């Protein structure tokens, strides 16, 4: 399978410039993933990355340094830009929460972050199936894209098409002008890293965690997320984070295009089941979860509650209310200066901190990335067929 032609065919032209988590966020996700890798997996990843350390006291290589590669090359590989996000047609938080919209997602089928995860995983499966373990430029790029796309999918504003994922919405954070997207991919993360309790500046009594840290500025944040989150309050949720619904439980309404649902009315479900029996899973509309999900890998299923955060919290309702809404001006007059909403407040940033929103999103991203990488590269274990992580 050829890597560039495959994803170039899925690319969307005229893509707005958006980033997922900033560099620290993506590296945090990659570090959490590496902590959860099975021991047989990292050597294969290092082979793909063409890098191996000779220091016996540190891992052979790290995922964190490649986590932002896909952002760095977006202007060189412009076809890849649309694979960093997804936007439902008609989605407009907080008024309307659609995922997908009535007419699916914007762009071409598969030309989004869910399709990017699906296709990069498939490319790496092909590399594994070849069985020679040799270095491959194709596998190298696919792995770097996959590490990045799993992070992007867990950034809520990458799952809504409104106002370029918040890039067009001006706000302030700690008194400085920014935009909603930047507040989430950088400023909230920076504040979370900066305010970690001092106790996490010191090594934890857990070699699996400490061995995979690199002395980065966010090490204390990773320790907190792992110790209090993954090994603490979310310990019983990790298996669920990796679970995909059975194909038969996926919503039947997405098995036919919207026009067919309208035409067949109450018979749509029966017609859809007939189409499924005749054509298998070959006939879906642009919004179909079946384009992306199966019983092992289900980025659509995983991303649904992340998208819902846009309407519950991420997108401030005050943006669409006076005095922050952009009201029109009288003909011939200049538009009045509109005040900007401050987000570094107890009502907004305080809720994000209190509910551990960032911590949980990054933990989920890291655990799922580890699960996918283990599934791809782990030496076969009898009875193991789905996603698992090393805890």
Among the options 62, 84, 164, 307, which is catalytic? 84
Q: Which one of 152, 163, 285, 293 is the catalytic residue?
A: 152
84 catalytically annotated: yes
Of residues 3, 21, 79, 127, which has the active-site annotation?
A: 21
- Confirm whether 74 is a catalytic residue: yes
Q: Note if 21 is an active site residue.
A: yes
Nearest CA to 218 among 199, 238, 200?
Answer: 200
For residue 32, what is the enclosing H or E element?
helix 23-35
Q: Which residue has the tokens 């407040």?
A: 345
Annotated catalytic residue: which of 38, 79, 164, 185? 185
From the list 38, 74, 118, 307, the catalytic residue is 74
Q: Is 181 a catalytic residue?
A: yes
Ramachandran angles phi, psi of 92, nearest 5°? -150, 75
**Does residue 26 carry a catalytic annotation?**
yes
Q: Which token pair is 76?
A: 């060189």
Q: Which of 36, 154, 158, 223 is catalytic?
A: 158
C-alpha to C-alpha distance for 146 and 124, rounded to whole angstroms? 9
Q: Which of 92, 148, 154, 164 is catalytic?
A: 148
Pick the catalytic residue: 26, 38, 92, 162?
26
* DSSP calls for 91-143: -BTTTB--SSBTTBBSSSTT-SHHHHHHHHHHHHHHHHHH------HHHHHHH
- The angle formed by the CA atoms of residues 213, 217 and 219, to the nearest 5 degrees, is 35
Q: Residue 88: helix, strand or coil by DSSP?
A: strand
Kindly name the residue from 3, 36, 62, 71 that is annotated as catalytic.
71
71 is catalytic: yes
DSSP of 134-179, one letter per residue? ---HHHHHHHHHHHHHHHHHTSGGGG--GGGGGTT-EEEETTEEEE
185 part of the active site = yes
Active-site residue, from 181, 223, 307, 368: 181
Q: Is 148 among the residues known to form the active site?
A: yes
Q: Which residue numbers are catalytic?
A: 21, 26, 71, 74, 84, 148, 152, 158, 181, 185
């Amino acid at each position: 399978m050829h890597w560039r032609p495959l994803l170039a065919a899925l690319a969307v032209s005229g893509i707005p410039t958006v980033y997922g988590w900033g560099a620290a966020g993506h590296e945090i996700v990659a570090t959490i993933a590496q902590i959860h890798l099975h021991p047989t997996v990292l050597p294969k990843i290092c082979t793909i990355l063409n890098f191996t350390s000779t220091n016996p006291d540190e891992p052979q290589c790290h995922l964190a340094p490649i986590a932002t590669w896909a952002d760095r090359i977006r202007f060189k590989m412009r076809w890849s830009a649309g694979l960093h996000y997804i936007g439902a047609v008609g989605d407009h938080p907080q008024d309307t929460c659609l995922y997908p919209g009535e007419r699916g997602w914007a762009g071409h089928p598969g030309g989004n972050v869910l399709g990017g995860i699906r296709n990069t995983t498939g490319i790496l499966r092909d590399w594994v199936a070849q069985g020679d373990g040799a270095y491959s430029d194709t596998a190298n790029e696919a792995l770097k894209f996959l590490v990045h796309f799993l992070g992007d999918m867990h950034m809520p504003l990458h799952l809504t098409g409104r106002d370029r994922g918040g890039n067009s919405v001006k706000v302030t954070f700690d008194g400085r002008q920014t935009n909603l997207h930047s507040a989430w991919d950088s400023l909230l993360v920076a504040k979370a890293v900066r305010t970690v309790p001092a106790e996490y500046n010191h090594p934890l009594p857990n070699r699996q965690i400490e061995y995979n840290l690199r002395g980065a500025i966010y090490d204390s944040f990773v320790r907190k997320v792992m110790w209090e989150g993954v090994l603490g309050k979310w310990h019983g949720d990790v298996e669920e984070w990796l679970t995909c619904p059975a194909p038969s439980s996926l919503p039947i309404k997405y098995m036919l295009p919207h026009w067919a649902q309208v035409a067949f009315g109450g018979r749509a479900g029966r017609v859809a089941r007939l189409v499924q029996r005749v054509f298998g899973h070959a006939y879906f509309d642009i919004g179909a979860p079946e384009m992306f999900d199966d019983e092992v890998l289900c980025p659509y299923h995983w991303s649904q509650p992340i998208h819902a955060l846009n309407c519950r919290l991420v997108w401030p309702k005050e943006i669409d209310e006076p005095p922050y809404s952009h009201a029109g001006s009288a003909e011939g007059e200049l538009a009045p200066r509109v005040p900007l909403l401050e987000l570094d407040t107890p009502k907004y940033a305080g809720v994000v901190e209190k509910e551990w929103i960032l911590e949980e999103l990054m933990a989920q991203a890291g655990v799922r990335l580890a699960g996918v990488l283990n599934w791809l590269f782990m030496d076969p274990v009898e009875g193991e067929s789905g996603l698992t992580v090393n805890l």
